[in-house]
């Protein structure tokens, strides 16, 4: 009895790229970053992923890799991993940075985030706090700020760029 042929890498990519991209877009709010992060996810799984695995296993592996890629993205921007991602949107990725004895993030990391946020305009700071420190969705952040979804996406995109610049300045001063 013949079973279904094993999917090849191209098939796995085609069947999953859209949902990985949408997941990343929902998290970062801008298409260019979402495309880059989606590419990173698929590059990261290219060798270790077994294309012979069932669809659920492939998606679980892609989701786990997406968590790692997104956490690394936020670490590059803010010096810490700040995100929630999952099929049910309830799985938090822990900060793997330095910890104190009670398990909280090290004060140096908190100070760095506070310093970066302090350099931002109020609206940009508020969007980043809502989105990445309080895990608001784009729509929830827009509702909280009383602006449109499109507007909060623009504010977030600009805020992330400003935060990256602030982080670079702070790093140079250190």
Q: What is d(CA 58, CA 77) in angstroms, rounded to the nearest whole number?
A: 29
- For residue 141, give both structure tokens: 């952040």
Q: What is d(CA 52, CA 136) in angstroms, rounded to the nearest whole number?
A: 37
Q: What is d(CA 103, CA 94) in angstroms, rounded to the nearest whole number?
A: 11
- For residue 64, give both structure tokens: 């786990």
Q: What is d(CA 23, CA 65) in angstroms, rounded to the nearest whole number?
A: 12
- Which one has a higher pLDDT value, 53 or 35? 35
Q: The domain 9-78 is classified under which CATH number: 1.10.3470, 1.10.490, 1.10.1740, 2.40.160? A: 1.10.1740
**Mean pLDDT (the chain, rounded):** 78
Alpha carbon of residue 42 to chain centroid: 15
| pLDDT tens by residue, 41-62 | 999 998 888 878 888 888 888 9
User: Three-state SS for 120?
Assistant: coil
| pLDDT tens by residue, 108-154 | 667 888 888 899 999 999 998 888 777 788 888 899 999 998 999 89
Average pLDDT score over residue span 153-162: 88
- For residue 29, give both structure tokens: 């709010």
Fold observed for domain 107-173: Arc Repressor Mutant, subunit A (1.10.10)
Domain ranges of the chain: 9-78, 107-173
Can you point out the beta strands (E) in 4-106?
A: none
- Which one has a higher pLDDT value, 150 or 79? 150
- Which one has a higher pLDDT value, 67 or 101? 67
What pLDDT does 3 receive? 54
Q: Which residues of 52-78 are buried (b: 16+ CB within 10 A; e: fewer)?
A: eeeeeebbebbbebbbbbbbebbbebb
Residue identified by tokens 């993205």 is 73
């Amino acid at each position: 009895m013949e079973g279904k042929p094993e999917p090849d890498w191209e098939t796995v990519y085609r069947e999953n790229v859209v949902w990985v991209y949408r997941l990343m877009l929902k998290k970062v709010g801008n298409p260019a970053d979402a495309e880059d992060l989606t590419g990173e996810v698929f590059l990261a799984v290219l060798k270790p992923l077994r294309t012979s695995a069932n669809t659920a296993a492939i998606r679980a592996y892609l989701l786990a890799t997406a968590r790692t890629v997104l956490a690394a993205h936020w670490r590059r921007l803010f010096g810490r991993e700040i995100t929630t991602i999952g099929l049910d949107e309830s799985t938090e990725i822990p900060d793997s940075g330095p910890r104190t004895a009670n398990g909280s993030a090290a004060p140096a990391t908190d100070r760095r985030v506070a310093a970066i946020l302090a350099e931002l305009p109020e609206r940009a700071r508020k969007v980043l706090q809502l989105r990445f420190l309080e895990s608001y969705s784009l729509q929830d952040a827009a509702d909280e700020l009383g602006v449109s979804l499109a507007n909060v996406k623009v504010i977030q995109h600009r805020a992330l760029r400003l935060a990256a610049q602030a982080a670079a300045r702070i790093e140079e001063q250190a």
